[in-house]
A and B are shown apart, each in its own frame.
Chain A
C-alpha cells in the first residue's frame, strides 16, 4: 500500500441499531441513561437513545487501524462531535491522509449520519 497525502481510506458503514448503541455504551462502562433508556433520552430533549463519545473514539480507532493494519500504532485520537447519532441511524466513516512524515501519518476522519456530520477528527498513527 502506498500511503501519501491525499490517500483515501476505504469507507466504513455502521448500522446504529438500538442493540449497537446499548452494547457499546455498556462495553465502555458508560451508564448514562440517554444511551440505554429511550424514555429518559426523550425527557432530556433527545429523539431517541444515542451513541456515546467513548464509542465514537472506539469507532474512529477501528476505522483507521482496519486500514493501517494490526501493527500500526495509534498515537492519538482527537474528535469533535456534531449532530447526535440516534438509534436506527446509519453512520458512514470516510477518511484521508492529511500528512506523512516517515511512518507517522495524520488521518482526518468524518462520520456522517442522516442528520449531518456526527463526528469529525484526526488520528495520528505510526505505520508498521
Chain B
C-alpha cells in the first residue's frame, strides 16, 4: 500500500477514540506553564484578581488547550491515533524527523481548574513528498477537538512536516602526501618555514630538484636559493575529474615561471577557472596540512 492509500484509509475512519488528559486542569501545571512562557496575566494565577474579573474565578491559559492531552514522556499514543499511525508509516519509509509547521487553535471557552479534558483526533490530509529546506518530506494535517464531557471546548488544525534529514557530509579525505628524498628534503623543509627554495648547482637553478646538475657534472654539490615567490602563469589546467583526495573540484593547477627563471607547478588557490590566463601574475602561498607537511600553492597577485 502506498503512503497516500494508507493515509486515505486512516482519514476515512474519522475521529479516533478519545485521549483523556493525564490530569484534570490544575494550578500546578498552569503555574509551570506561565512561569516558563513568562505570561503574567493574573487571571491564571491570582485568585482574588480572577474572582473580580470577567471570568469570576481562575481560568487556565487558552493556549494550554493542547498541553493537557499531550502524551508526556512515556505514555504511548492510542493504537488508533491517526497522527501516531502516520508517524509510524513515515518512519518506516525513512522520513524519520518531524517538525510542526502550523497550529490553528480556536477556543470556544476558557477551561477552569478541575475540568477533565479529552482529545479526539482525525486525519485531515497527507501531502507529499515535497522538497523542503529541511529535506524531502510529507505534510501531515490533523484536526483535534477537545471536549469536557460532551462539550467541545477548543479545536485545532495541526500540521507537521515529517522529513528525511539529509545525509551528513563525509569528512574531507586526507591529502595526497609527497614522497621526499635526500635530494628534495630541503624543498619540503623550506615550505614548512614559508620559503620557496630552488635548487642551485653553481650558477644554474634547477626545478624540480634532482640528484645531478643539468650539465651532468659529478663534482658539483647543490645548495639552494629562496625564491621571491613572484611569477606569472606559464601554463595551467583546470582539473574537473577524477576526484582527488582532499580537493574540491574543479581546481586549477598552474605552472608558474618565477622571476628567477625556473618554472614551478602548484595549485592556484583563489582564482575561478575562467579568470586564469597565461601571464597572470601570482605569488607563492603555503598550505599547511599538519606539522609534517606544507604544500606549495599560488595566489593571484592583487
Stretch at the interface among B101-109, B212-220, B280-288, B294-302: B101-109
Q: Which of A20, A27, A29, A78 has the most CB of B within 10 A?
A: A29
Would A24 and B103 count as touching, CB distance under 8 A? no
Interface SS of chain B = mixed
A53 CB–B CB distance under 8 Å = yes
Q: Mark A10-51, 1 if CB is under 8 A from B, else 0.
A: 000010000010011011111110100000000011000000
Q: Which residues of A contact B105 (CB under 8 A)?
A: 57, 76-78
Q: Which listed residue, B36, B98, B102, B165, touches A26 by the CB 8 Å rule?
A: B36
Q: Mark A62-74, 1 if CB is under 8 A from B, else 0.
A: 1001100011011
How many residues of B sit at the interface, in one of the four size bands?
A: 35 or more
Minimum C-beta distance from A15 to chain B (A): 10
The range of chain A's interface size is 35 or more
**A25: nearest residue on chain B (CB-CB)?**
B36
| Contacting pair B40 A66 (CB below 8 A) | yes
| Contact pick for B103, options A53, A65, A73, CB 8 Å | A53
Q: Which residues of A contact B (CB under 8 A)?
A: 14, 20, 23-24, 26-32, 34, 44-45, 52-62, 65-66, 70-71, 73-81, 84, 128
Please, could you name 6 A-B residue pairs with CB atoms under 8 Å apart, sorted by A? A54-B70, A55-B37, A70-B42, A70-B53, A71-B54, A81-B100
Binding site for A on B (CB under 8 A): 29, 32-33, 35-43, 49, 53-55, 61-64, 66-67, 70-73, 96-107, 110, 134-135, 165-166
